[in-house]
A and B are shown apart, each in its own frame.
Chain A
Amino acid sequence: MLAAALSLPLFEGNLLAFRHLEGADRVSGALGMFARVALVLTGVLSLRGYDLVVRGPDRGTLDLHPVPAVAYARARLARAAREALPAACTAFMFLLPVADSPPLLLAGALLLGGAAAAGVCLGVGVNLAAPGLGTNPAMAGLLDALRGANPRAQAALLWAPAGALFLGGLSVLGAMASLERALLGVDPGWAGAALPLVAVAIGARLAHTDADSLARLPGVLGEVEASWSAAEAAEEGSAVYMDWVVPRLPAAWQRETLRVLRHGWRGERGWLSLGFVGAAMAAAAGFLDPQRPERAALVMLTAAAGVGILGPRLRAREPGWLLLALPAPGRTLAHGVALWLWMQSIVLAGPIAMAVRNLPGAGEMLLRGELSALALAALGARLSTGGYAAVAVLVVAAGAFS
């Protein structure tokens, strides 16, 4: 939802501009929009298939006893299809802008419907088949090219979601190209619209895997998790995002700042990773929308304000009684410094993108960003979540529109 909210300023100029076009441009624009939504839909549903098959809550018992392969595959496909309905319905809302054009409406419906079905079937099928494909001699060449230091069986499971995304994406883009040619009268056939159905057939075929492949899954998954734990344990001892800055800070700040950086990286990595998404969106906004720099500023500062919420979140977790017993001088300052450091990827991304494109105003944008980040970090280090959210809105508005 945060990503969607941050994307909103970009939608109209880059996704819905076709509404103001005519003829072939309108057809291409509309199909481009459908294809993007269809790709997202396929991606989301195929990753949900991975969740169901590989990470599902049922694994605790399924991993101990024989599993009837055919019935299991059918049940997983049925559940994935049922769970896909809300996402598919949401995607179909993107048909509304072409409601006045029946051919475009039909093409969009075919593309989105095909993408949803392909996402469901590939997500379940490819991931179910992956442990078996990892031992299939016919796959050895491909897996050796992909696996790096991983054994083939692990590589098959690790690359399965990417394989599902690749096949689904290929079928969607192929269908889009075919539909575009059909709507523009270049090619009389709509047969290419059936490409997602080919992906559906592949996914459904793969889903009907053998019992050995199902029984192999816990072992392969256990290996992946053990490798991950070993890598993570090594990382935990050495690397925390932005900790390289700490030795360059005044000595009195270092200990507490490092503590906050560690707690944030280890306890709120998901939230910080969303900050990276915000940085990418700020860069995209700076790069794609040269006429409206305030939009880029809005995206950038909204994302930075989102990172600032980490301040109250981290403080809420700290045990007050322990802080009384072990006083931590400079704690508020350390939170402010850590928040400011975490905002840097976002604050720098937009101006750098503008500078790369040689657009005027990059320096001003950087100044606005840094001043706003300082204000947001100071607020985040002191206020509660509610108070911070209320004041951060004002900071963002002032930074973006001043």
Chain B
Amino acid sequence: MIEVEGVRKRFGRVTALDGVSFRVAPGERVALLGHNGAGKSTLMKLIGGHLLPGEGTVTIAGRSVADAPDAARRALGYVPEEPDCWGYLSARETLDYVVAVRGGGDVEAALALTGLGADADRLVREYSQGMRRKVAIAAALVAHPPALVFDEALNGLDPPSALTIVGELVRRAEAGAAVLVSTHVIDLVPRIATRVVVLRAGRVEVDCPIADLGPGGLAAVFSGASAP
């Protein structure tokens, strides 16, 4: 489970998040939406442990990101918006490392899933931007953590690869993982998620199942035309 409770975050005079609360239960898939500057990236960094909340708590599988960061990190597969992989290792070596430090996982399956099998032994520094993103996604998935957080992780992937990853996220959720994905690709949202959380000006404006939005409702919510 991913739980965000009463999180406020300020940067100088700017309030990036103002009392954000929501939870992603095991088996649930949630899409985090919002315009540029709405606070999505700040919230994702807080969940990933790359920022600390000013107020409120973030917990991953019951472990506080602030108070028990190692345990929270072990429970989380996180793909940041701009992943930075080790260029001096191959994709296979990177995943071997992740499996070693996380205590298990299927490297070959992760390579096959992300389509990196044929290039698995090339150094990551030789990869294109999209392939590097696939390495980061494979690293997040390989050890089957109970919580998955993807921050704009599907950007730059070719459509078949993006759909394959979406399919895997659905399977992971069916197996009990809590999945949170932020994206600007509105067409993918119904495939990725069963629920949307929309941030506007640092606050949760909408938090409801996609099914409740009705035809065209998702686009309307995203553009701010209506809020159920």
Chain A residues near B (Cβ < 8 Å): 58-61, 63-68, 151, 153, 210-212, 214-216, 218-220, 222-223, 226-227, 229-231, 233-234
Contact = CB atoms under 8 A, between A and B. Distances in A.
Contacts of A222: 45, 50-52
Given A151-B52, A223-B52, 19 more contacts: A58-B86, A59-B84, A60-B83, A65-B73, A65-B97, A65-B101, A65-B139, A66-B102, A68-B101, A211-B70, A212-B69, A215-B49, A215-B73, A216-B69, A219-B49, A223-B51, A226-B11, A230-B11, A230-B12
Contacts of B114: none
Interface in B50-78: 50-52, 65-66, 68-70, 72-74, 78
Contacts, number: 76
Interface in B1-58: 11-12, 14, 45, 48-52
Interface of B: 11-12, 14, 45, 48-52, 65-66, 68-70, 72-74, 78, 80, 83-86, 94, 97-98, 101-102, 136, 139-140
Contacts of A153: 52
A349 to B, nearest CB: 34
A68 to B, nearest CB: 6
A219 B42 CA distance: 12
B62 to A, nearest CB: 16
Nearest to B101: A66
B100 to A, nearest CB: 8
Contact of A234 (B12, B80, B101): B12
Nearest to A217: B69
A151 to B, nearest CB: 8
Contacts of A229: 11
Contacts of B45: 222
Nearest to B140: A64
Contacts of B136: 64
B147 to A, nearest CB: 13
B12 A61 contact: no
Nearest to B84: A60
A132 to B, nearest CB: 10
A215 B69 contact: yes
A61 B51 contact: no
A220 B52 contact: yes
Contacts of A60: 83-86
10 contacts: A63-B49, A63-B50, A65-B102, A212-B69, A214-B70, A216-B49, A219-B51, A226-B51, A227-B11, A231-B12
